[in-house]
Amino acid sequence: MTMPATQKTLAVSVDPQKAMAEGAEQVAEGFKAAATFSKGNIEAFVKLSKIATESAQNISAELVDYSKRSYEVAMAAAQEIYTCTTLGAFIEKQSEFGKVSMEGLAAETAKLNDMLSAAAKKWSPP
């Protein structure tokens, strides 16, 4: 038994339409998935940007504070050094200033290292 020509034509034209509709649905689902994925990436980027900005502001504030303290210590030491009347007193004050400066630098470096480590922990994924 053979199909009449009209039925053959309908069968040939319906299958591609059905395949086209299924393909369009798959493409639409793909776009939805991509949009959801992109939205998640953007939200994660914004969150990390906020964390990075906050960390950078804290570190910057600490550096400004350290610079101010360091300058004040240096000015006080300079005033003391200028009042020295002997070479021995000058060397003693200069050595004391050097020791205090190096201890302050070491403490500040440790503090900044801790701040950077804490920031890196916040930035890294869980």
Q: Are 11 and 3 in contact (CB under 8 A)?
A: yes
Angle between helices 5-82 and 87-123 in degrees, nearest 10: 170
Query: pLDDT tens track of the chain, all 126 residues?
Result: 455 656 655 555 556 666 566 666 777 676 676 666 666 677 777 788 888 888 888 989 999 999 999 999 999 999 999 998 999 999 999 999 999 999 999 999 999 999 988 888 887 765
**Residue 3, helix vs strand vs coil:** coil
| Domain parsing of the chain, residue ranges | 15-123
pTM equals 0.62
**Residue 29, helix vs strand vs coil:** helix
Give the pLDDT of residue 48: 82
